[in-house]
Amino acid sequence: MQKRTLGSGGLEVSAIGFGCMGMSWSYGPPKDKQAMTTLLHQAVERGVTFFDTAEVYGPFLNEELVGEGLSPFRGQVVIATKFGWKANPADGGKWNALDSRPEHIKQVAEASLKRLQVDAIDLFYQHRVDLEVPIEDVAGAVKELIQEGKVKHFGLSEASAQTIRRAHAVQPVAALQSEYSLFWREPEATVMPAIEELGIGFVPFSPLGKGFLTGKIDEKTSFDSTDFRSSVPRFSPENRKANQALVQVVTSFAERKKVTPAQIALAWLLAKKSWIVPIPGTTKLARLEENLGAADVELTSEEVRALEEASSMVEIHGARYPKSHQQLVGR
């Protein structure tokens, strides 16, 4: 597995990381702990050194799984986690309220260190921008944690270019994590010019379009009530049917290259910039191996351009988030 560097602080990770969220949360019920632990080990054995989790995934379940599962590999892997959410008493205790107050960030760091079973958090992201707390205060709190040796690198998620610049001026940002794929290319216009200028890495989540770009989802697919895609406008049956046109574009390129649609989607991201590290998630070994195989798929600049031209001709139907969450991104 090739390595890539995120940010100017020398954070070296595998070219393809592993998004762990779906093992415990958001894509249906939590999966079997022993099976997921085995899969984490198999990922390390295949060269993955970059694993992504967050306290809110569960909450806590995913950090506990990742911390315990990766404990035999301390010093060999990079674990990223996130702060910024809290339980909302006004909504039955659901974790849908933001809280990036410095004192809360420090409390979360201490708790995450214990769950992850590490002495320092490799990469600590603000999960969503909290407009109630100046981003300079957020960056300052993480800077103090870095000075204390409890955090190594600072990250942001789904932040705007302006917010990234303000944070970076206080504490260098190693990575921005945001949704980015052939299914959602807005970051190319909104944040990528800024992070390239500032020397910040980019970690695309949902690089396979929440599974859509694999070609395994169509209008007949049914989602469990605990699968968040059941509430996403882009994944309504009629929109899934309309958006199949994009899958057909990706599939046609995959057939020409004799690879899978998922591998084309990931190879496209890897070909875009040397500082992009996608983090596809899975709960199956076969899918893990398929995803990692994308690192061996080389796309020429001409192929990248042709793929982009063909995909940009497809009109994508449906918003990528429900309205309640849409207002929390790009702030």
User: Could you tell me the CATH number of the domain that includes residue 181?
Assistant: 3.20.20.100
Which residues are tagged catalytic?
Answer: 57
Q: State residue 18's pLDDT score.
A: 98
The torsion angle over the Cα atoms of residues 280, 232, 82 and 7, rounded to 10 degrees, is 50
Chain segment 120-133, per-residue pLDDT in tens: 999 999 999 999 99
Is the residue at 329 inside a domain? no
> In the structure, what pLDDT confidence band is assigned to residue 180 with cuts at 50, 70 and 90?
very high
Is the residue at 169 inside a domain? yes
Q: State residue 205's pLDDT score.
A: 98
Chain segment 113-122, per-residue pLDDT in tens: 999 999 999 9
Is the residue at 73 inside a domain? yes
Chain segment 36-69, per-residue pLDDT in tens: 999 999 999 999 999 999 999 999 999 999 999 9
Q: State residue 30's pLDDT score.
A: 96
The b/e string for 134-147 (b: 16+ C-beta within 10 A; e otherwise) is ebeebbbbbbbbbe
CA end-to-end span of the chain: 34
Is the residue at 172 inside a domain? yes
Which structural domain range is residue 19 located in?
Answer: 3-209+269-298
Total domains present in the chain: 1
Is the residue at 319 inside a domain? no
Is the residue at 138 inside a domain? yes
Phi and psi torsions of 165, nearest 5°:
-60, -45
Chain segment 81-105, per-residue pLDDT in tens: 999 999 999 989 999 999 999 999 9
Q: State residue 25's pLDDT score.
A: 95
Is the residue at 148 inside a domain? yes
